[in-house]
A and B are shown apart, each in its own frame.
Chain A
Amino acid sequence: MSPGRLILLGVCMVTALVSATTSAVADAPVFPRGKGEQCVEPTQTMRKNHMKFLVHQRDDTVYQGVRTTKHSLKNCVDCHVQEDSAGQFIPIDAPGQFCQSCHEFASVKLDCFECHATMPDQGHANLGNTPGKMGSGAASLTAHAFSTKPSDDAAQ
């Protein structure tokens, strides 16, 4: 390959890289801000290491009964959960919400919330566990869950 062609190839690659980066920024997930001035750790640290904090805290809590909130998943949810216009909490794993939007962007499956609560407990009290009252994203899922409840079976 001649030096000219090599340079051309190099230029193309750089251009491709730059445009990829630009488009990545353009597509970057938009998600709601948490409460308060700043996160429990610097944002960059959290972006890179939140899962490590969570796993560490998880083992401390499960095995040692340590209940500090700084790095707890519950704390993440409490701070980052949003309310809809009716003042009801929106599950944090619903599309566009804090956890889900980034995980979707990064193509990383978010399975914390198969077991963990997606909103503060207060939300359940407000919701009264009634179908249709839950925030947008999980509404259909919840509807499914409730359709299998005894009362619904009786109604059918």
Chain B
Amino acid sequence: MSLSCKSKQPDGQRRRLLGGIAGAVSLGGGFSLIELALAKSEDEAISSLNRWGLLIDTAKCASGCDACVKGCNTEHNLEGFDRPETDAQWIRKLEVTDRQTGHVSSLPMLCQHCEDPPCVDVCPTGASFRRQDGVVLVDKHTCIGCRYCVMACPYKARSFVHESLYNQKSYSPRGKGTVESCTLCVHRIDDDRTPACVESCNRDGNGAMVFGDLNDADSQIAKTMRDSASRQVREDLGLNTGVRYQNL
């Protein structure tokens, strides 16, 4: 499993570079130029120099806690219609049991933001795509609702919207007849913020999730992944997922 990407992507990283330059110029009063340098201006395009990912520690994630799920549902206004089979679900909690030992792990399952996403492979219209910074999305303007991607996803991470919706968030358009899944909160990423699930886990849960740039050797996520073992779910598929698990 090579994480330090089989880089289709050039080395180095804009934010790291800027951070490095600004690092030398940190100012007094808790104010540092690093934060300024980190911010992507709104007219700036994303870059393949970044690859966003999540690291989830299943040892910290507790059975019965669903702070991340609640955070996601609130952020994107994922209301249920009391039809669990078809209600939208971008992140869900799973309990996985090791049949041999009986050890039970609790973990959140969501779009794994693969480098080689099966959903993108099968999509007939090109609606499923991978952003340059590694986030896998559906362009709902192009999606025809065929649901091939839903079938192709090994993580069952995608949902189909069956009902007309009327109260979407301005930053999270959703509509009947299209497929949707975790966006890794791109609207937040583009604004240099952390995804809602991670924020909720830190605030109301057990601090089991770390979000960051896998390509940035100095980021917390990259350091932790270098120093301790982590796994991909279904690593046999060789998808190079952006979401990784510890203690699984």
Q: Which residues of B contact A (CB under 8 A)?
A: 40, 42-46, 77, 79-82, 129, 131, 133, 137, 139-141, 163-171, 173-176, 178, 186-187, 189-191
A-B contact list, 22 entries, CB within 8 Å:
A60-B45, A62-B137, A64-B45, A65-B131, A65-B186, A65-B189, A67-B42, A74-B170, A115-B140, A115-B174, A116-B173, A117-B170, A121-B170, A121-B171, A124-B167, A129-B79, A144-B164, A145-B163, A145-B164, A145-B167, A148-B81, A148-B163
Q: Which residues of B contact A149 (CB under 8 A)?
A: 79-82
A9 interface residue, CB < 8 Å from B? no
| Known contacts A117-B173, A141-B164, A142-B167; is-contact A65 B81 (Cβ 8 Å) | no
- Chain B residue numbers with a CB within 8 Å of A69 are 42
**What's the dominant secondary structure at chain B's contact region?**
loop
Chain B residues contacting A74 (CB-CB under 8 Å) are: 170-171
Counting chain B CB atoms within 10 Å of each CB, the highest count among A69, A74, A116, A138 belongs to A116
Chain A's closest residue to B174 (CB) is A115
- Give A136 Cβ to nearest chain B Cβ, in Å: 14
Would B190 and A65 count as touching, CB distance under 8 A?
yes
Chain A residue nearest in CB terms to B133: A65
Which residues on the B side are within 8 Å of A142 (C-beta)? 166-167
Contact of B166 with A138 in the complex, beta carbons under 8 Å: yes
Q: Across the interface, which residues of B come within 8 angstroms of A138, CB to CB?
A: 166
Check B42–A68 contact: CB distance below 8 A. Answer: yes
Complex contact A115–B175 (CB within 8 A): yes
Partner-B contacts on A (CB < 8 A)? 58, 60, 62-69, 74, 77, 91, 114-118, 120-121, 124, 127, 129, 134, 138, 141-142, 144-145, 148-150, 153
Given contact pairs A62-B137, A148-B163, A114 touches B43 in the complex (Cβ within 8 A): no
Residue from B139, B166, B178, B189 whose CB has the most chain A CB atoms within 10 Å: B166
- Interface contacts beyond A65-B131, A77-B170, A117-B169: sample of 12 additional A-B pairs, CB < 8 Å, sorted by A: A65-B46, A65-B133, A66-B43, A68-B42, A115-B165, A115-B173, A138-B166, A141-B166, A142-B166, A145-B163, A150-B82, A153-B82
Closest residue on chain A to residue B43 by CB atoms: A68
CA distance A117 to B77 in the complex (A): 11
Chain B: CB-nearest residue to A124: B167
- B170 contacts across to A, CB distance below 8 A: 74, 77, 116-117, 120-121
Question: Are the CB atoms of B173 and A145 closer together than 8 Å?
Answer: no
Q: How far is the CA of A153 from the CA of B81 in the complex (A)?
A: 9
B133 in contact with A116 (CB, 8 Å): no
Q: Which of B79, B141, B169, B175 contacts A121 (CB 8 A)?
A: B169
Q: A91: which B residues are within 8 A, CB to CB?
A: 166
Q: Which residues of A contact B140 (CB under 8 A)?
A: 115
Residue of B nearest to A112 (CB): B173
Please report the C-alpha to C-alpha distance between residue A145 and residue B189 in the assembled complex, in whole angstroms: 30
Residues of B within 8 A of A127 (CB): 167
By a CB distance below 8 angstroms, the chain A residues around B165 are: 114-115, 145
**A115 and B166 in contact, given A62-B137, A65-B46, A65-B186 (Cβ under 8 angstroms):** no
- Distance in angstroms from A78 CB to nearest chain B CB is 8
Chain B residues with CB under 8 Å of A144's CB are: 164
Closest to B173 in A: A115
The answer to whether A65 and B45 touch across the interface, beta carbons within 8 angstroms, is yes
Residues of A within 8 A of B129 (CB): 63
